[in-house]
C-alpha cells in the first residue's frame, strides 16, 4: 500500500506547519469550550446558578491540539487516497452480490446460532425494520432523487392504520398489513400531488412539514388517536391464525399446541424476526425489479434530467408520484409491523429524528445501493446499542458518527451503480 | 379589536425573532445552496450562552440591566459566531464538492451532536431566567381588557428592524456583500476574479450565527425558559419562514419570519394552541403550491 | 408534399423583450427545414415553443398528421413528445449522464414499454408480453446504436462518452421515441469536419429512409447548405427570408443580417466560403 508520496520524508517546515495548525485549532476549541464547557448551569431552588470548571476547557484544548497535530502530520496526499477509493469501490461492486448472499445466509440462521438470545433477536428485528425503511426510502431519494425529509409520516400512517383498525374494528394483523400499505401510499399520493412540482429543497421542507403535521395531528386528535398516551394492547400477530399464547383462546389452538411444542415466549420473537425478514426481502425484490422496469428507469432519468425526460414524453408528475407512493407503501408495511411488534405506539416514535436516521441510512449506504442500506442500518442501530454504557453520550456519539462518516465517505459506503440492462442481456435474461 | 391588536403585537415580536434566525438560513442557502440544519442549534447555543452570562453577571453583582444586556449580547454574539464558523469549517467545507445530500446529512448529524453536547454539559432540565426587563405601555384599555406593549417587546422590535436594515445595507453596499452576491451567482467565477470564497462563506456563517445569537438572547428574556431542544422547532419554523419568503432573499426571510410569527399568534389566539404549528406548515404548503419559489423568490427561469 | 408543421404568427415575449416576433413558416413532411440566424435571433426560443417548454404569447403551432391535427401551443411538454410525436435534442446536450448509452435509449421508449409492462404490474412478474416488448425495444436501440456508431459503447456511462458521441447519442435517443418531427438544436456544434460530414449522412438517412421531417437549428453552413430542403432565416426574432438554400444564400437581407448594415463590405473569405459550401 505504501506509495512513494507516503514514504518520502516530510519537508522540515511541515512540522512547524502542523504545530501552527494545531495551535490554531486549540485556540478555536478554547473559545468554543469557554462558555459551554467552562461554565455550567446548576439547578437551584427557584432558578439556576452557574459554576465554573475552567480546567475542562484546558483539557479540551489539549485534546484538540493533540488530535489536530496528529491529523496534520499523518494526513496522506489527497491524490493517493482518491485512487484507493476508486479501486475499492470497483472491487466492492464485484463482490456486492456475494457479500449480500453471505449476509442473507447468516441472517436466515441467526435465531439458531448459539449466541442468539432475545436481545440479539430484538436488535436484529430493529435493524431489519430500518433496512426495510431504507430500501423503501431509497426508491424516493436514491432512484427518483426526491429529497424526502418526512418519510416517517408514512411509517406513522402504517403503524396507526393498523393500531386504529384493530382498536375500532377489531381487524387482525394480516388484514391490516395490505391496508396499511395502501393507506400510506394514498397519503403519499395526496401529499405528493400538490408538491411534487417543487424544486428539490422546497420539496424537502414541505415533506418535513408534512411529517410534523402528521405527528401534531396524532398528538392532538385525542378522541381518535388517544394523543400522547398512545395506543396500547395492539394485537400481536398470529402464525397465520394460530396465536402465540400459552393459553389458547376458547375453541382455538395456539402455535405451540398445533406444532406439539413446549410453550416458549421466544417463539413469537423468532416468528417476528422471520416476518420482518420476509417483508424486507419482498421490499428488496420489488425495488430491484422495479428498477429494471421502465418505471424504474424513468425514476433514475428524472433524477438525472427532468427536462430531457419531458422531451421524451415522460410525465414527470405521475412518475414522481409513483415513486413517492411506492416508497410510502413500504413505509406503511414497516409501520404496521412496528405496531404489532411493539404492541404499543405513540406519536413519540415518529419524530423527525426517525426520518433523519432513515435518510442517513440511505445516504451513508451510498444512494441506490441495496447492500449499502443494510450495512448502514446495522451500523446506525447497533452503534447506539453498543454505546448503551455511555448512556448520556449515546446520541452525542451518534451525531458525531454521522458527521465523521459523511466526511470520510461523502459518496456513501457503496457507491457506483449497476446498469439496469445490458446489451444482449435483457433484464430478465 | 383589542384582542386582535394584542395578538398582532405578540405575533410581530415572535416573527421578528423567527426572522433573525431565518436570515441565517437564507444567507447560507443563497451562498452554498445547502440547508444548514444545525442553524437551529446555533440559536439554542446562543440562548444558553445568554442564560449562563446573565446568571454569571448576576452572581458578580452586575444588576444594571442595560449594561448587563449589552455585555450578554456581545458575549453571545461573539461565542455563537465562533460556533457558526467552526461548524462550517469542520462539517461543511470538506463536503463542498461532494454529492448534494452529503452536507445535508452532515448538517443533521451536527444538529444531533450539538443538541446532545449541550444536554450533556448543561443538563436536560429546563433552565429559567427571572424576568429582567419588566413593565411596558398600556396602549388601550377597554372593559377590563388592556392591550399591552412591553418594553421588552419594544426593544425586540426595534432591534430586529434595525439589524435587518443594517444587514440589507451590508449586503447591498459593502465589498463583503458584493462578494457574497458574487459567490451566490457563480462561486468559481467569483474565485477567479479574486473573491476569497472560503472567507466569504465563513463570514456568512459568522453573520448568520450572530443574528441567531441575538434571537437566542431575546427568546431567553422573552420566555424566561429554555432547554436544549428549543433549536429544533425554532429552526424548523425559521427555515419555513425563509422558504415562505423565498429562500435566498433577505427581504423574503424577514417577511416570512413576520408572517410565521403572525400566523402562529393569531392561530393560537383565535383557534387552538395545539394546532398552531400545523397552521404554519399548512400555510407553507399552500403558498408553495401557488408560488413555488416563495413570496419574494425569483421565479426560476427554466434554461433549456 | 403537404406541410407537416404550420407555424402561424408565433410571438414570444419575455417581459419587454420580444424573442420571437410574428414568425410564420411551414415545414414539409419528409424534408429538412433549417432555421438559421445570428445569435439571439430567437431560434432556440422557437424550438422551446414548439416542444412545450414555453407557452407562446401569440400564435398557432399546428401539426398535421394522418392521425389528426395537434395544436402544440396548447399541449403540455411531455404530451407533445408522447402524442404529437415531436422529438428534440438540446443545444447543451441533455443526456442522462450516469445511465448507460443503452439505458438512455430505453428511457426514450418509456411510454410503449410502460403500456407493455401493464403500468409495471405485469412487468414485476416478468409477464411474457412485457419481455417481448423489452426485447423489441432493445432491438430498436441496437439499430440506432449501429447507425450512430455507438454499439461498442452501449454499456458505458453516457456522460463519459466523447462530445461528438454524446451529440449522436442524443439524436439516436430522440429517434427511439419514433417521432414524426425531429427538432435538432445545433447538432453540429463542436463537431470536427469529419463528424459533421457523418452527421449529414445520418440526417439524410433519417429523412430518406425513415421518412421523418427534420427541423434544424444550425450555424454550420456546410451542414445547412448541403442537406436542407428549405431554409428559414430569423434575425432579431423576425423572419427575414424563407426559401431554398440557393435562394437564401443570395438574399440581400440575409447577407446584411450576417454581416451588418454596411452593404459595401466585401464578404470575408471564410464567410463567403461557408455560404458557398453547398456547391
What was the pLDDT predicted at B43? 95
Whole-angstrom distance, CA of residue A158 vs CA of residue A136: 13
> What cell numbers appear for A81 in the block?
487516497
The residue behind cell 400481536 is A236
**Does the residue B301 lie in any domain?**
no
pLDDT for A425 beyond 60:
no
Interface probe, candidates A293, A303, A427, chain C, greatest C C-beta count within 10 A: A293
What was the pLDDT predicted at B42? 95
- Interface check for B302 against chain C (CB to CB < 8 A): the answer is yes
- The residue-averaged pLDDT of A209-221 equals 87
What was the pLDDT predicted at A87? 43
> What cell numbers appear for C43 in the block?
431560434
Instruction: Tell me if B212 sits within 8 A of B21, measured CB to CB.
Output: yes
pLDDT for B146 beyond 90:
no
A351: buried, middle or exposed (CB in 10 Å: 19+, 13-18, 0-12)? middle
Which of A111-125, A256-270, B108-122 is predicted with the least confidence, judged by mean pLDDT? A256-270
pLDDT band at C264, cuts 50/70/90?
very low
Show which of C121, C154, C178 is a domain's final residue.
C178
pLDDT band at A421, cuts 50/70/90?
confident
**Does the residue C11 lie in any domain?**
yes
**Does the residue B210 lie in any domain?**
yes
Residue A323 DSSP class:
H
Q: CA B16, B17, B18, B19 torsion: positive or negative?
A: positive
**Total structural domains within chain B:** 1
The whole-angstrom distance between C90's CA and the closest CA on chain B is 7
Q: Is C152 in the same domain as C270?
A: no
Q: Is C159 in the same domain as C204?
A: no
pLDDT for A58 beyond 50:
yes
- The residue-averaged pLDDT of B245-270 equals 88
Q: In 10 A of CB A262, how many CB atoms?
A: 6
- Interface check for B300 against chain C (CB to CB < 8 A): the answer is no
Mean pLDDT of chain B: 87
CA distances in angstroms from A177 to A56, A215, A244, A337, A405, listed in the order given: 53, 21, 18, 8, 35
pLDDT for A91 beyond 60:
no
pLDDT for A85 beyond 50:
no
Q: In this predicted model, which residue has the larger pLDDT, B259 or A235?
A: B259
Q: Is C72 in the same domain as C100?
A: no
**Does the residue C167 lie in any domain?**
yes
- Those of residues 296-325 in A touching chain C at CB distance below 8 A are 297-298, 300-301, 304-305, 307-316, 322
Q: Is C243 in the same domain as C270?
A: yes
The interface predicted TM-score of the complex, written ipTM, equals: 0.87
Instruction: Name every chain B residue with its beta carbon within 8 A of the beta carbon of A356.
Output: 108, 112
What was the pLDDT predicted at A428? 43
CA distances in angstroms from A401 to A357, B51, B99, B158, listed in the order given: 12, 29, 19, 42
pLDDT for A43 beyond 70:
yes
Instruction: Name every chain C residue with its beta carbon within 8 A of the beta carbon of B302.
Output: 53
- The residue-averaged pLDDT of A327-345 equals 92
> What cell numbers appear for B292 in the block?
413555488
What was the pLDDT predicted at B211? 93
The whole-angstrom distance between A298's CA and the closest CA on chain C is 6
Q: Is C197 in the same domain as C277?
A: yes
What was the pLDDT predicted at C274? 61
Interface probe, candidates C114, C130, C132, C154, chain A, greatest A C-beta count within 10 A: C114
**Does the residue B298 lie in any domain?**
no
A116-120, A184-188, B100-104: which is most confident: A184-188
- Those of residues 14-53 in B touching chain A at CB distance below 8 A are 29, 33, 35, 45, 48-49, 51-53
Instruction: Name every chain C residue with its beta carbon within 8 A of the beta carbon of B304.
Output: 44, 48, 53, 90
A67: buried, middle or exposed (CB in 10 Å: 19+, 13-18, 0-12)? middle
- The residue-averaged pLDDT of C85-109 equals 92
* Interchain proximity A396–B117, CB inside 8 Å: yes
Q: Is C71 in the same domain as C143?
A: no
Instruction: Name every chain B residue with its beta carbon within 8 A of the beta carbon of C90.
Output: 304
A260-274, B2-16, B206-220: which is most confident: B206-220
Share of chain A above pLDDT 70, in %: 91
What was the pLDDT predicted at C268? 57
Choose among B187, B223, B239: nearest CA to B38. B239
Name the percent of chain A in helix, strand, coil, to the closest 5. Answer: 75, 5, 25
* Interchain proximity B109–A202, CB inside 8 Å: no
Neighbours of chain B (3+ CB pairs under 8 A): A, C
The residue in chain C having the minimum alpha-carbon distance to the alpha carbon of residue B302 is C53
Show which of C155, C178, C201 is a domain's final residue.
C178
Whole-angstrom distance, CA of residue C207 vs CA of residue C227: 10
- Bridge partners for C87 per DSSP: C182
CB pairs under 8 A between B and C: 5
Neighbours of chain C (3+ CB pairs under 8 A): A, B
- Interface check for C53 against chain B (CB to CB < 8 A): the answer is yes
pLDDT for B241 beyond 50:
yes
- The residue-averaged pLDDT of A35-56 equals 84
Residue B291 DSSP class:
S
Q: Is C107 in the same domain as C187?
A: no
Of the candidates A293, A310, A428, which has its C-beta nearest C120's C-beta? Answer: A293
**Does the residue C141 lie in any domain?**
yes
pLDDT for B301 beyond 70:
no
> What cell numbers appear for A377 in the block?
442500518
What was the pLDDT predicted at A83? 42
- The residue-averaged pLDDT of A98-106 equals 84
* Interchain proximity C102–A316, CB inside 8 Å: no
**Total structural domains within chain C:** 2
Cα dihedral A204, A207, A212, A218 in deg (nearest 10): -170
What was the pLDDT predicted at A266? 77
pLDDT band at A86, cuts 50/70/90?
very low
What was the pLDDT predicted at C261? 56
Q: In this predicted model, which residue has the larger pLDDT, A48 or A399?
A: A399
Show which of C143, C163, C178 is a domain's final residue.
C178
The residue behind cell 416576433 is C21
What was the pLDDT predicted at C277? 55
**Does the residue C90 lie in any domain?**
no
pLDDT band at A368, cuts 50/70/90?
confident
- The residue-averaged pLDDT of A224-249 equals 79
What was the pLDDT predicted at C101? 93
pLDDT for B226 beyond 70:
yes
The H or E element that residue B139 is part of is strand B136-142
Q: Is C186 in the same domain as C273?
A: yes
What was the pLDDT predicted at A1? 40
pLDDT for C249 beyond 90:
no
Instruction: Name every chain A residue with its beta carbon within 8 A of the beta carbon of C120.
Output: 290, 293-295, 322
pLDDT for A16 beyond 80:
yes
Neighbours of chain A (3+ CB pairs under 8 A): B, C
What was the pLDDT predicted at A81? 43
**CATH number, position B182:** 1.10.3470
What was the pLDDT predicted at A202? 76
| Backbone φ, ψ for residue B225 (5° rounding) | -135, 135
The residue in chain A having the minimum alpha-carbon distance to the alpha carbon of residue B237 is A209
pLDDT for A182 beyond 50:
yes
* Interchain proximity A421–C103, CB inside 8 Å: yes
What was the pLDDT predicted at A6? 45
What was the pLDDT predicted at B299? 67
Q: Is C200 in the same domain as C212?
A: yes
- Bridge partners for C184 per DSSP: C216
Q: Is C65 in the same domain as C169?
A: no
Residue C152 DSSP class:
G
Q: Which domain holds residue B48?
A: 2-290
Whole-angstrom distance, CA of residue A257 vs CA of residue A266: 15
- The rounded radius of gyration (Å) of the Cα atoms in chain A is 25
Instruction: Name every chain A residue with its beta carbon within 8 A of the beta carbon of B116.
Output: 392-396, 398-399
**CATH number, position C6:** 3.40.50.300
pLDDT 10s digits, B162-213 = 988 888 888 888 888 888 888 888 888 888 888 888 898 999 999 999 999 9
- The residue-averaged pLDDT of A158-176 equals 88
What was the pLDDT predicted at A427? 46
Helices (H), A37-139: 54-74, 78-109, 118-138
Mean pLDDT of chain A: 83
- The residue-averaged pLDDT of A279-300 equals 92
What was the pLDDT predicted at C105? 94
Helices (H), A259-393: 266-292, 294-304, 306-311, 316-342, 352-365, 370-386
Q: Which domain holds residue C119?
A: 95-178
Residue-level length of chain C: 279
* Interchain proximity C126–A308, CB inside 8 Å: no
Angle of CA points C196, C199, C205, to nearest 5°: 150
Beta strands in chain C (DSSP E): 3-14, 17-28, 32-36, 58-65, 68-71, 86-88, 181-185, 213-217, 230-235, 238-243
pLDDT 10s digits, A399-415 = 898 899 889 888 888 87
pLDDT 10s digits, C130-173 = 888 888 999 999 999 999 989 888 888 999 999 989 999 999 99
Whole-angstrom distance, CA of residue C108 vs CA of residue C175: 8
The whole-angstrom distance between C52's CA and the closest CA on chain B is 11
Q: Is C101 in the same domain as C58?
A: no
CB pairs under 8 A between A and B: 194
pLDDT for A242 beyond 80:
no
pLDDT 10s digits, A295-324 = 999 999 999 999 999 999 999 999 999 999
Amino acid at each position: 500500500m505504501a506509495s512513494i508520496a507516503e514514504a518520502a520524508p516530510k519537508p522540515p517546515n511541515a512540522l512547524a506547519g502542523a504545530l501552527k495548525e494545531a495551535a490554531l485549532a486549540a485556540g478555536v476549541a478554547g473559545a468554543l469550550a469557554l462558555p459551554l464547557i467552562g461554565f455550567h448551569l446548576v439547578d437551584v431552588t427557584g432558578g439556576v446558578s452557574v459554576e465554573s470548571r475552567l480546567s475542562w476547557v484546558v483539557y479540551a484544548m489539549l485534546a484538540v491540539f493533540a488530535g489536530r497535530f496528529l491529523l496534520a502530520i499523518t494526513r496522506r496526499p489527497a491524490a493517493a487516497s482518491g485512487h484507493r477509493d476508486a479501486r475499492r469501490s470497483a472491487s466492492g461492486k464485484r463482490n456486492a452480490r456475494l457479500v449480500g448472499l453471505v449476509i442473507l445466509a447468516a441472517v436466515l440462521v441467526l435465531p439458531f446460532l448459539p449466541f442468539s438470545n432475545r436481545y440479539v433477536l430484538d436488535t436484529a428485528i430493529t435493524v431489519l425494520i430500518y433496512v426495510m425503511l431504507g430500501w423503501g426510502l431509497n426508491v424516493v431519494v436514491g432512484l427518483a432523487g426526491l429529497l424526502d425529509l418526512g418519510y416517517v409520516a408514512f411509517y406513522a400512517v402504517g403503524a396507526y392504520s393498523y393500531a386504529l383498525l384493530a382498536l375500532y374494528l377489531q381487524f387482525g394483523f394480516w388484514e391490516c398489513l395490505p391496508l396499511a400499505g395502501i393507506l400510506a401510499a394514498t397519503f403519499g399520493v395526496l401529499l405528493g400531488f400538490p408538491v411534487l412540482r417543487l424544486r428539490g429543497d422546497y420539496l424537502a421542507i414541505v415533506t418535513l412539514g408534512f411529517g410534523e403535521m402528521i405527528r401534531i395531528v396524532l398528538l392532538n386528535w385525542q378522541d381518535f388517536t388517544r394523543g400522547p398516551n398512545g395506543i396500547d394492547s395492539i394485537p400481536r400477530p398470529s402464525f397465520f391464525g394460530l396465536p402465540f399464547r400459552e393459553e389458547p383462546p376458547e375453541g382455538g389452538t395456539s402455535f405451540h399446541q398445533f406444532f406439539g411444542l413446549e410453550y416458549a415466549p421466544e417463539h413469537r420473537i423468532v416468528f417476528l424476526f422471520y416476518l420482518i425478514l420476509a417483508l424486507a426481502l419482498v421490499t428488496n425484490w420489488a425495488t430491484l425489479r422495479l428498477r429494471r422496469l421502465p418505471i424504474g428507469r424513468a425514476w433514475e432519468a428524472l433524477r438525472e434530467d427532468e427536462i430531457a425526460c419531458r422531451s421524451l414524453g415522460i410525465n414527470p408528475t405521475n412518475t414522481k408520484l409513483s415513486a413517492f407512493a411506492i416508497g410510502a407503501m413500504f413505509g406503511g408495511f414497516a409501520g404496521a409491523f412496528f405496531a404489532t411488534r411493539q404492541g404499543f405506539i405513540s406519536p413519540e416514535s415518529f419524530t423527525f429524528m426517525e426520518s433523519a436516521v432513515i435518510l442517513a441510512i440511505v445516504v451513508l449506504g451510498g444512494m441506490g445501493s441495496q447492500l449499502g442500506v443494510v450495512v448502514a442500518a446495522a451500523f446506525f442501530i447497533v452503534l447506539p446499542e453498543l454505546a448503551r454504557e455511555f448512556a448520556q453520550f449515546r446520541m452525542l456519539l451518534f451525531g458525531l458518527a454521522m458527521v465523521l462518516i459523511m466526511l470520510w465517505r461523502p459518496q456513501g459506503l457503496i457507491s457506483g451503480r449497476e446498469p439496469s440492462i445490458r446489451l444482449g442481456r435483457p433484464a430478465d435474461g | 379589536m383589542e384582542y386582535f391588536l394584542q395578538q398582532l403585537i405578540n405575533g410581530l415580536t415572535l416573527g421578528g425573532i423567527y426572522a433573525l434566525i431565518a436570515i441565517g438560513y437564507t444567507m447560507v442557502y443563497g451562498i452554498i445552496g445547502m440547508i444548514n440544519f444545525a442553524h437551529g442549534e446555533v440559536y439554542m447555543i446562543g440562548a444558553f450562552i445568554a442564560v449562563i452570562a446573565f446568571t454569571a453577571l448576576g452572581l458578580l453583582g452586575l444588576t444594571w440591566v442595560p449594561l448587563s444586556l449589552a455585555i450578554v449580547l456581545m458575549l453571545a454574539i461573539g461565542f455563537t459566531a465562533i460556533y457558526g464558523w467552526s461548524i462550517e469549517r469542520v462539517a461543511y467545507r470538506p463536503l463542498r464538492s461532494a454529492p448534494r445530500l452529503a452536507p445535508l446529512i452532515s448538517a443533521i448529524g451536527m444538529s444531533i451532536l450539538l443538541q446532545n453536547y449541550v444536554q450533556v454539559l448543561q443538563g436536560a432540565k429546563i433552565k429559567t431566567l427571572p424576568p429582567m426587563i419588566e413593565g411596558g405601555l398600556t396602549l388601550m384599555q377597554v372593559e377590563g381588557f388592556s392591550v399591552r406593549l412591553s418594553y421588552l417587546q419594544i426593544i425586540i422590535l426595534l432591534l430586529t428592524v434595525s439589524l435587518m436594515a443594517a444587514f440589507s445595507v451590508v449586503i447591498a453596499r459593502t465589498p463583503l456583500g458584493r462578494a457574497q452576491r458574487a459567490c451566490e451567482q457563480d462561486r468559481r467565477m467569483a474565485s477567479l476574479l479574486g473573491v476569497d470564497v472560503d472567507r466569504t462563506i465563513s463570514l456568512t456563517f459568522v453573520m448568520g450565527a450572530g443574528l441567531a445569537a441575538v434571537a437566542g438572547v431575546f427568546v431567553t428574556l422573552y420566555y424566561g425558559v429554555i432547554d436544549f431542544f428549543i433549536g429544533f422547532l425554532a429552526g424548523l419554523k425559521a427555515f419555513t419562514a425563509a422558504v415562505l419568503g423565498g429562500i435566498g432573499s433577505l427581504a423574503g426571510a424577514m417577511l416570512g419570519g413576520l408572517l410565521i410569527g403572525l400566523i402562529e399568534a393569531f392561530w393560537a389566539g383565535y383557534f387552538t394552541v395545539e394546532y398552531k404549528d400545523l397552521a404554519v406548515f399548512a400555510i407553507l404548503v399552500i403558498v408553495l403550491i401557488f408560488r413555488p419559489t416563495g413570496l419574494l423568490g425569483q421565479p426560476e427561469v427554466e434554461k433549456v | 408534399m403537404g406541410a407537416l408543421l404550420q407555424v402561424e404568427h408565433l410571438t414570444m415575449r419575455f417581459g419587454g423583450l420580444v424573442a420571437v416576433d410574428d414568425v410564420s413558416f411551414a415545414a414539409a413532411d419528409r424534408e429538412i427545414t433549417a432555421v438559421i440566424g445570428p445569435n439571439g435571433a430567437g431560434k432556440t426560443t422557437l424550438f422551446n415553443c414548439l416542444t412545450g417548454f414555453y407557452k407562446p404569447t401569440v400564435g398557432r403551432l399546428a401539426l398535421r398528421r394522418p392521425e389528426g391535427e395537434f395544436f402544440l401551443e396548447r399541449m403540455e411538454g411531455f404530451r407533445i413528445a408522447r402524442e404529437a410525436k415531436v422529438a428534440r435534442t438540446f443545444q447543451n446536450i441533455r443526456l442522462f449522464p450516469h445511465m448507460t448509452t443503452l439505458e438512455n435509449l430505453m428511457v426514450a421508449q418509456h411510454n410503449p414499454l410502460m403500456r407493455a409492462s401493464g403500468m409495471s404490474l405485469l412487468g414485476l412478474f416478468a409477464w411474457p408480453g412485457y419481455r417481448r416488448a423489452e426485447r423489441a425495444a432493445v432491438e430498436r436501440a441496437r439499430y440506432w446504436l449501429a447507425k450512430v456508431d455507438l454499439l461498442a459503447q452501449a454499456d458505458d456511462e453516457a456522460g463519459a462518452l466523447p462530445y461528438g458521441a454524446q451529440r449522436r447519442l442524443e439524436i439516436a435517443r430522440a429517434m427511439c421515441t419514433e417521432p414524426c418531427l425531429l427538432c435538432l438544436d445545433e447538432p453540429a456544434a463542436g463537431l470536427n469536419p469529419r463528424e459533421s460530414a457523418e452527421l449529414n449522412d445520418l440526417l439524410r438517412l433519417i429523412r430518406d429512409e425513415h421518412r421523418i421531417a427534420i427541423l434544424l437549428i444550425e450555424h454550420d453552413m456546410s451542414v445547412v447548405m448541403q442537406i436542407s430542403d428549405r431554409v428559414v432565416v430569423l434575425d432579431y426574432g423576425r423572419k427575414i427570408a424563407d426559401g431554398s438554400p440557393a435562394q437564401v444564400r443570395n438574399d440581400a437581407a440575409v447577407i446584411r443580417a450576417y454581416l451588418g448594415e454596411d452593404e459595401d463590405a466585401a464578404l470575408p473569405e471564410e464567410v463567403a466560403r461557408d455560404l458557398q459550401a453547398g456547391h
